[in-house]
Amino acid sequence: MTERPERDAVEAAVRTLIAWAGDDPDREGLKDTPGRVVNAYREWFAGYDQDPEQILSRVFEDVSGYDDMVILRDIDVESHCEHHIAPFIGKACVAYLPRDRVVGISKIVKVVEIFSKRLQTQETMTAQIANVIDTALKTRGTAVLVDAVHECMTTRGVHHNDVSTITTRFTGQFRSSQALQDRFLGLIGQSG
C-alpha cells in the first residue's frame, strides 16, 4: 500500500492546481479550499481504510432452509473513475444464492460503499463486489449490476448527458444459468 503524504503536502498540491487553473489560491473564496478538498477526498476515498471481507465476516447460519435469491436493489453508488478522478454516480443491484449462511443486508450495502469509495473503473468495482460476496459468504452464485453516469463523459470530452454505463458480473449458478440471470434482471427491473 502506498504511504499517504502529510496533510500539508496535499493542501500545497491543491494550491498548485488552483494556480495552474489560473486563479489565485490566496484570494478570499479560495484560501480555505485546499483544506476542504482534503476533507472531501478523505470522505470520497474512505473505502481504502475499510476491509469488505471483515464487514461480511459476521454471518447467520440459521437460515431455516432458505436457499433462494437474496436481492438488494437500487443501492446508491458514488464513485470516482481512476482515469480522470471524475465522479460516476448511479445504482447497484446485488443478489446472492446462499448455501448455508446469510449476512445482514446492510453489510451488502456497506460492501458496495467500500468499493465505490476507491479509485477504479466501474467494471473493476462490479467484479470486486461480486467476488468478495461470493468468496466471503461461500455462495452458490452472486449477481451484480451497476448502472452509472460518468461525469468524465458529461462535463468534459464528448459531453453526453444521457449516457449511462451498465456493468454486470455473474458467478456460480448465476453464471451458468441464463434462467437465473433473466430472473435476477427481471426482479431488479432490467430486461433480460
Q: What is the pLDDT of residues 127-160, one digit of tens each?
A: 999 999 999 999 999 999 999 998 888 888 888 8
E strands, the chain, in order: 59-60, 70-81, 87-97, 102-103, 119-120, 141-150, 165-170
User: Of 50, 84, 173, 190, which one is the catalytic site residue?
Assistant: 84
pTM of the predicted structure, to 2 decimals? 0.92
Reply yes or no on whether 93 is catalytic. no
Residue ranges of domains in the chain, CATH in brackets: 7-44 (no CATH), 55-187 (3.30.1130.10)
pLDDT of residue 152: 86
> Would you call 54 a catalytic residue per the annotation?
no
pLDDT at 9: 96
6 is known as an active-site residue: no
Residue 192, pLDDT above cutoff 60: no
CB-based contacts of 104, cutoff 8 Å, min separation 6: 58, 60
Q: Is 84 a residue of the active site?
A: yes
Catalytic one among 53, 83, 160, 178? 83
Catalytic pick from 93, 150, 151, 181?
A: 150
- Compute how many other C-beta atoms are within 10 angstroms of the C-beta atom of residue 18: 19
**Does the active-site annotation cover 122?**
yes
